[in-house]
Amino acid sequence: MQVTFLGTGAATSYPLAFCQCETCRKARELGGKNFRKRASLLINTDLLIDLGPDAIPAMHAYGHDTTKLRLLLQTHPHSDHFDPGVLVTRSSLYRCVNSDLLEIIAEKRCLEVMADQVRVIESIELLEEKWQTDMHLTLTALGHGQRLSRGGYEILAMESLHHPGWGSQIYLVKEGGKQLLYAADSPALSAAALEALQGKHLDLAIFEQTFGPFHTGNTGAHLSEAILFEQLARLRAQGCLDEKSQIYVTHISHEGNPHHEALAERGASLGYFVGYDGLELTL
């Protein structure tokens, strides 16, 4: 399994556009791995997690062919994770030709909200068969705790407590005997998610760290480093993580997260890795 971090920033990207805090100033000064696009993940060449506003430009930048995408796992429809303006370009309205079939997999409510957002961009009814035919799409509603097999992948959907009214989910993807957990956005693993993961060994676990080790105040619907460690302890206790598991953080904001090198050094001392845009892993 090949994994590419297309973006590792939170909704605001990193550094924050107009912010002149010490963290953002340092990030601009250093550049490179400190510039973070909105979070999305590519598995091999054909499975994308979250069609956010930066996902397609990132695929181009890192040498991946966007026409090879066959599966889209959508975690939720917030604007940093789903860009309807990108999806509508598959339509004949935009003279898109010869596109191959793309299957969008998400919770039913998530698909409905995505359809609402697409309708605002164009007079396209995403849930109607004629428009799916026009855009060479299929939509699959996959509820919490449900699983399916597609193209050599086994996919398990689990609830996320991040804006649950919009059908937010996290995903476990298995391919070639390797298992990957992608848990962004998710403030903490729910009891149902922990139960679904019971005994499943994770080769790669990717969590968000919107709020870093030096953040103070309420974390709301996102993780901080402290809450991350609580989640990791639970997963270790139920056999999901061991010394062979790789743990990465993504969805990083300027709030309490220092520049990349400093955060990576801290992570190395505490047992986790820090993702960066363009990072490729082989499991």
CA–CA gap between residue 273 and residue 265 (Å, rounded): 9
Q: Which among 207, 206, 105, 222 has a CA at the least distance from the CA of 161?
A: 222
Is residue 217 very low, low, confident or very high in pLDDT (cuts 50, 70, 90)?
low
CA–CA gap between residue 114 and residue 117 (Å, rounded): 5
Largest Cα–Cα separation, the chain: 54
Is residue 158 very low, low, confident or very high in pLDDT (cuts 50, 70, 90)?
very high
The residue count of the chain comes to 283
Architecture per CATH, 2-282:
4-Layer Sandwich (3.60)
| Contact yes or no for 6/59 (Cβ under 8 A) | yes
Entry pTM: 0.96
For 240, other C-beta atoms within 10 Å of its C-beta total 21
pLDDT in tens, 257-269: 999 999 999 999 9
The domain ranges of the chain are 2-282
Residue 108 has pLDDT above 70, yes or no: yes
pLDDT in tens, 241-257: 999 999 999 999 999 99
pLDDT at 2: 98
